[in-house]
Amino acid sequence: EIVLTQSPGTLSLSPGERATLSCRASQSVSSYLAWYQQKPGQAPRLLIYGASSRATDIPDRFSGSGSGTDFTLTISRLEPEDFAVYYCQQYGSSPPTFGGGTKVEIK
């Protein structure tokens, strides 16, 4: 199974700052990589799929890049509602797997 490693585990930033989250796969997943946001007590929400395509109604401050084994989620300017946990997921091969998550917290 493909292992996804997210870094850092926690990112402490202030509103308005840029956030850069990393996801590395143990083998190539091509572009079958998605990013989800999860807030406390809520289900995850799809942000990005196909490594770089924004899901419906996702603000353009969220962007994804990468292919193969190295991927990045960038939040250009953090809004208060963006402080949450972010997970990457590969969905190109079975079993699909998730990374361990990156928590973006208010500094």
Q: Which parts of this chain interact with other proteins (CB under 8 A)?
A: 32, 34, 36, 43-46, 49-50, 55, 87, 89, 91-92, 94-101
Smallest gap from residue 61 Cβ to other proteins (A): 20
Which residue in the block uniquely carries the two structure tokens 């007590």? 41
Contact (CB, 8 A) for 101 and 7: no
Minimum CB separation of residue 54 from other proteins in Å reads 12
CB closer to other proteins, 43 vs 80:
43
Using an 8 Å Cβ cutoff, are 26 and 92 in contact? Answer: no
Helices (H), the chain: none
Which residue, 68 or 96, is less far from other proteins as judged by CB? 96
